[in-house]
Amino acid sequence: MAAAVEYIQKDSPVHRLNAATKIFWALFTLACGLLFNDYRYLLGLLASVLLVAAAGRVLKNLLPAITGLSVFALILLLIQALFYDQGQVIFHLIPQTSYLPVTNYGILSGVAMAARMLSLVLSFLVLLATTRIQDMVLTMVEKFKMPYDYAFMFMTTLRFIPTFLGEVRQITDAQKARGHAVEGFNPFKKIRSYAPVTVPLVLISLNKAENMAMAMETRGYGGGRRTYFKEPKMRGADYLLTAVLLLLLVLGVTARVKGLGVM
Amino acid sequence: MPLYKVENLTYFYPEAEKAALSDISLEIGEGEFILVSGCSGSGKSSLARALAGLIPDSYGGRIGGKVYFQGRDIRAMDRRKLAREVGMVFQDPEKQIVQTHVEAEIAFGLENLGLENKEMQRRVAEVVCFMNLEQIRGACTANLSGGQKQKLALASVLAMQPHVLVLDEPTSQLDPVSAEDILNLVKRLNEEMGFTVIMIEQRLERCYHLADRVLLMEKGRIACDGSARKVARSAIKRGMPFVPPVARFFAGLEVPSVPLTVKEGRKMLRSFIRNINPGEERQDVLRHGGGLSAHAPERKSAVRLKNLWFTYPGGQEVLKDVSIDIKEGEFVAILGENGAGKSTMLRQLTGMLRPDRGTVEVLGRDVGRNGFKEIRRHTAYLSQNPNDYLFQDTVEDELLFTLKNFGLKDKSAVDEMLERFHLTRYRRVNPRDLSSGERQRVALASVLVTAPGLIILDEPTRGVDFRLKAEMGRFLQQEAEKGRTVIVVTHDVEFAAEYAARAVMMFSGRVVSDGGKHEVLGKSVFYSPQLAKMCRGICDGVLTFSEARDRIYPLVTGGAVADEKPGVKM
């Protein structure tokens, strides 16, 4: 499942959309998923999410995730079916007895639950697969007025993950060559035996951070107005989609207030 | 008005007793190319930081005196304004790249300056083009090679269009070819675009001649200051080692002027020995080559790699059919470009990785099959960064830790090692309080304390000054003479040529050349030391300083040969 969460570089209409539009779409899906509990509405929502994934050409990449989630969906359906006792009894799980009745409403509400879970999770996976994290962070800064310092901190963390892992490997190699081994099953001993790796790691990282701060200073970081190289531009399609989604949301809320889409 | 005017600059790092810079006065004119050299701890980097306006604001500490940039006190200048004027490239590209993608990295400084988007696009495009970065334009910075990373660091600074470039050992982590690439760029920037360049460097053979002016530093002071030629002469007179090998070689001869480049050296050498008998010369080379391998065959193998193939999970093939046989008591240098697979090969030898195909035998045991611990006890491995090792509170504990890991009870080796590496007086000192050279010695002592038969070092001369380098080279030679096997991976061709006996060259995962150092390094264009470049075709088979001295000095005895020759005057 972890594999599906990362950005997949492709050229598709969904990739080309502005990060803000896609974030809005994911939030819209979330809202709809929570508004309704009619299985037909929720299955429709799931279908729309899959459609977007297909348009973004990431359906195939998300397949492992979808399979994994389907197992959870089945479990949800089962639990729901078992503990929902309204409606007509269709059959009993233990035949010839009156134990564990399964009702028609139970099954339908289970389907609704499963579809809701799938659409919510998948919409965020589609968002992550089609949008670079950098763009998302920039959108947070531009559209949602997050201070750039936090955004920068987050991006630097991303930048340093490979470096950090390389460092861990190098130190582990060095200490192993010196005969050091992480030993035993005693947790206290084990924690102590990590010291030869963690202590140098912390010291080296601190030194790196210090040098980095200097390098950033010589490049004019800190204080003052900042501009952005990749200004995430809203284009026609973005405005159109946002408008459509907004309209749908208003319709959805009205429908819900009128009692539609609820079982 | 000079560009920089430094007046009585004295600087103490926080909690330091000794001054990093003491009473420095200096003027730097616009468009100059200044090379700053000196031993570790002589204040080179501190001077660079002072000129970039980083001292003392980023560090704290005490400062006296003033640095004026274009007539203004640098400390009173706005940080952003200064960033537009002075660009700085650091030693380790890993510590200055901030962004995850190449373009974003180049744009980072421009974003900070608050440039208009259009201007930014233009500048990024221009720099990408000038630096030849088109192919990696959209790449992840984590996937770049060392050379590409350093080029990117330079590009990101250039995009800000500064007028001054301060470079702190920009090539110390690069292979000779990538280093040449960076230095050529810097030279072009200075000559064609009028940049003022201040470069700190310890490896003088490839950059000494580029500079208009050389500063030699010693204990926080400027010991010599003048044109490259003048400083070379006075450094030689004072017995300071900071001159390129060609100049050092001719210093021993009575010559009217000191040559600084291979070209000048060859010209002068030809004028000395143009009448040497070529037949005699060839015989000499043969004898030389034969002498090296004569006693090798009867020894046992210390390391034997046979048809080794290795691919990292993820797809890249790093080692392709590598076969090397290293005998006990050999001193082998492994050279090659960044990413040629040298470090991966070392990881195979130390049992950190297992081969996909082929066998790795270390000290007669198959690494793939036996427990590593037994092999590791007889193997010392020093990684590129001595800080990878040090975590104890005292120097002594570092050594004891290794002994304890291998279950060795005899502690007498500790005293011996401390003595040997001149660390006895630091026995109870925290390794973190030592200088980088001392820390490296502690790390080395801590891996050698088990008296291993095989010593493996990854880039041991990186950032190490001339004196310490010579000390380490001699130490390793002695170990080899005692029958221990020494394997060094290095970019430092001069070091390999001077101290190793055998050289192995690797390119993109294959061994392309393996043999006596004269055979391997003597023939290479980039991977050959300066004196070999100078002597090639004139007096073949010369690689080290002592060889050049022994073979050429007798030919020019008395120094009367060349005094008035035309074409030698410079």
DSSP string, A88-124: -EEEESSTTSSSSEEEHHHHHHHHHHHHHHHHHHHHH
B570 touches B259 (CB < 8 A):
yes
Residue A149 contacts B, CB cutoff 8 Å: no
If contacts are CB pairs under 8 Å, which of residues 200-229 in chain A contact chain B? 200, 203-204, 207-208, 211-229
List chain B residues with CB under 8 Å of A175.
388-389
Taking an 8 Å cut-off on Cβ atoms, the answer to whether B120 and A195 are in contact is no
User: Looking at this predicted complex, what is its ipTM?
Assistant: 0.83
CB B28 within 8 A of CB B198: yes
Check: CB of residue B248 under 8 Å from CB of residue B237.
Answer: no
Which residues of chain B have a CB within 8 Å of the CB of A221? 108, 112
A174 chain-B contacts, CB cut-off 8 A: 381-383, 388-389
Is the CB of A179 less than 8 angstroms away from the CB of B117?
A: no
For residues A93 and A102, is the Cβ–Cβ distance under 8 A? yes
Report yes or no: A160 at the B interface, CB cutoff 8 Å: no
Owner of token pair 């291993």: B452
Which residue range(s) make up the domain with B505?
327-351+372-532
Last residue of a domain, one of B241, B257, B285: B241
Q: Are residues B180 and B132 in the same domain?
A: yes
Q: Check if the beta carbon of residue B45 is closer than 8 Å to that of residue B222.
A: no
Helices (H), B23-162: 44-51, 79-85, 102-113, 117-130, 146-158
Beta strand B365-366 with B221-227 is: unpaired
In angstroms, what separates the C-alpha of A196 from chain B's closest C-alpha? 6
Residue ranges of E strands in B279-374: 301-311, 317-327, 331-336, 357-362, 365-366
How many distinct helices (H) and strands (E) make up chain B? Answer: 20, 20
Q: Which residue from A178, A181, A226 is facing B389, i.e. has the nearest CB? A: A178
When divided into structural domains, chain B yields a total of 3
pLDDT in tens, A77-133: 888 888 877 778 887 777 777 777 788 888 888 899 999 999 999 999 999 999 988
Alpha-carbon distance B121 to nearest alpha carbon in chain A (angstroms): 7
* Close Cβ partners of A148 (under 8 Å, ≥ 6 residues apart): A141, A226
Whether residue B156 and residue A163 make contact (CB cut-off 8 A), yes or no, is no
Does one domain contain both B45 and B10? Answer: yes
Q: B114 contacts in A (CB within 8 Å)? A: 224-227
Bridge partners for B322 per DSSP: B308
Taking contacts as CB-CB distances below 8 angstroms, the residues of chain B near A164 are: none
**Is residue B297 in a domain?**
no
Q: Name the nearest CA neighbour of A204 among B460, B378, B439.
A: B439
Cα–Cα distance, A209 to B339 (Å, whole number): 25
For residue B291, is it within any domain?
no
Nearest to B142 among A155, A162, A180 (CB): A162
Tell me if B417 is assigned to some domain.
yes
Are residues B249 and B204 located together in one domain of the fold? no
One domain, residues B251 and B344: no
Cβ <8 Å between B120 and A229:
yes
Are A211 and B406 within 8 A, CB to CB? Answer: no
Residue B332: strand, helix, or coil: strand
Task: State which residue of chain B sits closest to A161, comparing Cα positions.
Answer: B142
Burial of B107 (0-12, 13-18, 19+ CB in 10 A): buried
Cβ distance A36 to A44 under 8 Å? Answer: no
- B525 and B559 in a common domain: no
Question: Which amino acid is present at A157?
Answer: T
Whether residues B492 and B406 fall in one domain: yes
**Is residue B156 less than 8 Å (CB to CB) from chain A?**
yes
Instruction: Say which residues have a Cβ less than 8 Å from residue A120's Cβ, sequence separation at least 6.
Output: A29, A30, A33
Q: What angle do CA A41, A45, A47 make, to 5 degrees?
A: 115
Residue showing tokens 């803000």: A20
Residue B120, token pair as written in the block: 């930014």
Residue B545 lies in a domain: yes
Residues B207 and B94 grouped into a single domain: yes
Instruction: For residues B393 and B537, state if they share a domain.
Output: no
Cα(A215)–Cα(A198) distance, integer angstroms? 25
Query: CA of B87, closest CA in chain A: separation in Å?
Result: 6
Q: Containing H/E element for A172?
A: helix A148-177
Minimum-distance CB partner of B387 among A134, A204, A218: A204
Q: Which residues of B367-398 are buried (b: 16+ CB within 10 A; e: fewer)?
A: beeeebeebbbbbbbbbbbbbbbbbbeebbbb
The minimum CA-CA distance between B79 and chain A, rounded to whole Å, is 6
Domain assignment of residue B153, yes or no: yes
- A129 and A14 in contact (C-beta within 8 Å)? no
What is the Cα–Cα distance from B202 to B310, expressed in whole angstroms? Answer: 35
- B73 and B175 in a common domain: yes
Sign of the four-CA dihedral B434, B440, B445, B450: positive
Separation CA A136–CA A27 (nearest Å): 14
Nearest CA of chain B to the CA of A100: how many Å?
50
Report which of residues B293 and A229 the model is more confident about: A229
CB-nearest partner of B90 from A177, A211, A228: A211
> Residue B279 falls within a domain, yes or no?
no
- CB neighbour class for B471 (10 Å; exposed up to 12, middle 13-18, buried from 19): middle
Strand partners, B331: B486
Specify the pLDDT at position B223. Answer: 93
B86-89 and B164-168 strand pairing: parallel
Q: Which of A218, A221, A230, A233 to mutate to test the interface with B (most CBs of B within 10 A)?
A: A218
Q: What percent of the residues of chain A are helix, what percent strand, and what percent coil, each to the nearest 5?
A: 70, 5, 25
Distance CA B481, CA B331 (A): 9
Closest partner residue to B114 (CB to CB) among A212, A216, A226 is A226
Chain A CB contacts of B121 under 8 Å are 229
Of B110, B108, B87, the residue nearest B157 (C-alpha): B87
Judge if B67 and B188 occupy the same domain: yes
Nearest to B543 by CA among B507, B511, B515, B510: B515
Shared domain check, B338 and B262: no
Do the domain assignments include residue B357?
Answer: no
DSSP strand pairing (B485-489 vs B4-12) = unpaired
Q: Model pTM greater than 0.80?
A: yes
- B181-201 burial, b at 16+ Cβ within 10 Å, e below that, comes to bbbebbbebbeeeebbbbbbb
B83 close to A (CB below 8 A): yes
Contacting residues of A for B347, CB less than 8 Å apart: 173
Whether B374 and chain A come into contact, CB under 8 Å, resolves to no
Chain A interface mutation, best of B388, B408, B448, highest count of A Cβ atoms under 10 Å: B388
| Minimal Cβ distance to A156: which of B98, B101, B142 | B98
Q: Do A215 and B121 touch (CB under 8 A)?
A: no
**Residues A66-78: tens digit of each pLDDT:** 999 999 999 988 8
CATH of the domain at B411: 3.40.50.300
Tell me how many residue pairs between chain A and chain B have CB atoms under 8 A apart.
163
- Residues 6 or more apart in contact with residue A91 via CB below 8 angstroms: A101, A102
Q: What is the Cα–Cα distance from B304 to B318, expressed in whole angstroms?
A: 18
Give residue for tokens 């409606």. A87
Task: Label the pairing between strands B379-382 and B454-458.
Answer: parallel
| Cα of B502 to nearest chain A Cα, Å | 24
Q: What is the mean pLDDT of each run of 10 residues along chain B (570 residues)?
A: 93 88 94 93 91 84 92 90 93 89 93 93 95 90 89 95 94 89 93 95 89 94 92 87 89 82 89 58 43 57 92 85 94 92 89 87 78 79 92 94 90 92 93 88 93 93 86 94 95 94 94 93 88 87 88 68 37
Of B95, B141, B383, the CB nearest to A173: B383
In this predicted structure, what is the pLDDT of residue A52? 95
Inter-chain CB proximity A176 and B376 less than 8 Å: yes
Q: Give B563→chain A minimum CA distance, Å.
A: 50
Nearest chain A residue to B399, by CA: A178
Select from A163, A214, A216 the Cβ nearest to the Cβ of B94.
A163
**Are B102 and A212 in contact, with CB atoms under 8 Å apart?**
no
Enclosing H/E stretch for B342: helix B342-349
CA distance A151 to chain B (A): 12
- In DSSP terms, which residues pair with B555 in a beta bridge? none
* Contact indicator for B326, B487 with CB cutoff of 8 Å: yes
Contact B381 A177 (CB under 8 A): yes
Give the H/E segment covering residue B27.
strand B21-28
Query: In this structure, are strands B4-12 and A101-103 parallel, antiparallel, or unpaired?
Result: unpaired
- Cβ contacts (< 8 Å) between B109 and chain A: which residues? 219-220
In terms of Cα–Cα distance, which of A57, A58, A28 is closest to A45?
Answer: A28
Structure-token pair, residue A247: 């309209």
Does the pLDDT value for residue A15 go beyond 80? yes
Q: CA of B216 to nearest chain A CA: how many angstroms apart? A: 25
DSSP bridge pairs for B215: B36, B225
> What's the helix, strand, coil split of chain B in %, to 5?
45, 20, 35
Residue B380: strand pairing partners: B455
Q: Which residues contact B102 (CB under 8 A, 6 or more apart)?
A: B133, B136, B137, B138, B139, B140, B141, B144, B152
Q: Do A229 and B98 touch (CB under 8 A)?
A: no
Give the B window 337-366 contacts with A, CB below 8 Å.
347, 350, 352
Residues 47-76 on B with a CB inside 8 Å of A are 49, 52, 54, 58
> For residue A106, what are the contacts with CB-CB under 8 A and spacing of at least 6?
A80, A81, A82, A83, A84, A85, A86, A87
Judged by CB atoms closer than 8 Å, whether chains meet at A159 and B54 is answered as no
A153/A145 Cα distance (integer angstroms): 15
Give the list of residues 6+ apart from residue A233 with CB closer than 8 angstroms, or none: A18
pLDDT in tens, A198-225: 999 999 999 888 888 889 989 988 877 8
* Chain A residues whose beta carbon lies within 8 Å of the beta carbon of residue B394: none
- Pull the structure tokens for residue B208: 């000494």
- Asked if residue B78 and residue B39 are part of one domain, the reply reads yes
Distance CA A29, CA A118 (A): 11
Q: Which residue of A has its CA nearest to B98?
A: A156
Does residue B293 lie within any of the structural domains?
Answer: no
- Name the minimum distance, in Å, from the CA of A224 to any CA of chain B: 8
